């Protein structure tokens, strides 16, 4: 049973560039959430996708956008990169409608902005 997968593992960009991160959820899951984990901090919720729609959003600017595909995989896009966007980006999948939906996390994408 494949768990949550993310690509790429590492990424280096320069300020002002745009980046796309990808996530495939755990088999059977239909919901994908994205988190940003800065060094030494806990994960911060960016947004969540269900049925190809963004249904919940955290306190992140519009430079952060996403998409969910019919196969439930998801992308996170960040435009106009800032140095402060350097972080580990975590994708988590879950199954909506199962009570307390445990979120299962992927290994993350380490983004470095120079």
Binding residues vs another protein (CB under 8 A): 4, 6, 31, 33, 35, 40-45, 48, 50, 55-56, 58, 90, 92, 94, 96, 99-108, 110
Nearer to another protein, 19 or 43 (CB): 43
CB of 16 to another protein, least distance (A): 27
Residue 87 bridge partners (DSSP)? 111
Closest to another protein by CB, 39 or 70: 39
Minimum gap (Å) between residue 13 Cβ and another protein? 19
- CA–CA separation, 94 and 12 (whole Å): 29
SS (H, E, C) 36-80: EECCCCCCEEEEEEECCEEEEECCCCCCEEEEECCCCCEEEEECC
């Amino acid at each position: 049973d494949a768990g949550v997968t993310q690509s790429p593992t590492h990424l280096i960009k320069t300020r002002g560039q745009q980046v796309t991160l990808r996530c495939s959820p755990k088999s059977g899951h239909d919901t994908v959430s994205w988190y940003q984990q800065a060094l030494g901090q806990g994960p911060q919720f960016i947004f969540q996708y269900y049925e190809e729609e963004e249904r919940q959003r955290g306190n992140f600017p519009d430079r952060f956008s996403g998409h969910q595909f019919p196969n439930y995989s998801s992308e996170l896009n960040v435009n106009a990169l800032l140095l402060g966007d350097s972080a580990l980006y975590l994708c988590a999948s879950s199954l909506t409608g199962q009570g307390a939906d445990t979120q299962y996390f992927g290994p993350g994408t380490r983004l470095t902005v120079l």
